[in-house]
Structure 1
């Protein structure tokens, strides 16, 4: 049974948290089920929302990277 854990900066989805998660999980579930030839019910998807001040890339906070021009 495939288990997918999606980590996302919570500020990216804060304007439509439930809608965006629903769209993403549907696309992920459909793709994995089709590729693996298994029922959609066998694909599990979870989300972890991480604050932009707690996520770093290249030594910088994502919050700072998102604010850069």
Structure 2
């Protein structure tokens, strides 16, 4: 049984948290189910939301990286 854990910066999805999670989990579930030839019910997906001040990339907070883009 595949278990998928998705970590995402919570501010990225804050405008529609539930709808975005539903869309992402559906796409992930469908893809794994099709690729592995297993029923969708056997694919588990969870989300961990991390604050942009607690996530770093290349030594910079994601908050600053997002502000610069």
Q: TM-score range, shorter-chain basis? A: over 0.9
TM-score by length of 1: 0.98
1:14 alignment partner in structure 2 = 14
Deviating runs (4+, > 2 A) in structure 1?
none
1:52 alignment partner in structure 2 = 52
The Cα offsets for residues 18-67 of structure 1, whole Å up to 9 and x where unpaired, read as 00000000000000000000000000000000000000000000000001
Alpha-carbon distance between aligned partners in 1 of 2:39 and 2:61, rounded to the nearest angstrom: 39
User: Where do 1:1-69 residues align within 5 Å?
Assistant: 1-69=1-69
Alpha-carbon distance between aligned partners in 1 of 2:62 and 2:2, rounded to the nearest angstrom: 29
Alpha-carbon distance between aligned partners in 2 of 1:36 and 1:11, rounded to the nearest angstrom: 32
